[in-house]
Amino acid sequence: MASAKRQSQPSDSSKGSRIAYQEFGTPDTSAALERGVQELPPNQQDLRIQASRKGRGGKTVTAISGFQAKPETLNSLLKQLKSQCGTGGTVKDNTLEIQGDRAQQLLPLLTKLGYKAKISGG
């Protein structure tokens, strides 16, 4: 006779819980730990554009810092900038990183979008 498969029962919050001690509330605290980000309009944000090679194996990356925006806004802006420059890039810690030395190319693009941007560094 074939072995019978064990049927899973709907899990109850009290059944199968491996918490030994819990002082307050539910164990889901992700909403409490999430930071609220105040999103400023583009004309109130002061951005710095800087080309850097540090810690990247000699590859030049243009970093745009100073954003006060939500991650969704940063991702959509990054997508626009990457398509205009024809390169790759990423978002790290509210900083956009575009591959290559693109500071002179990004400055007019950002000012056209309404951001106050300056090229920083040498």
pLDDT in tens, the chain (122 residues): 566 665 555 555 556 667 777 777 666 666 666 666 678 888 899 999 999 998 888 899 999 999 999 999 999 999 999 999 999 999 999 999 999 999 999 999 999 999 999 999 86
E strand map for the chain? 46-52, 61-65, 89-92, 95-99, 116-119
Rounded distance, CA 59 to CA 64, Å?
16
Domains and CATH numbers, the chain: 40-119 (3.30.780.10)
Residues 6+ apart with CB under 8 A from 68: 37, 38, 39, 40, 45, 94
Radius of gyration for the alpha carbons in the chain, expressed in angstroms and rounded: 23
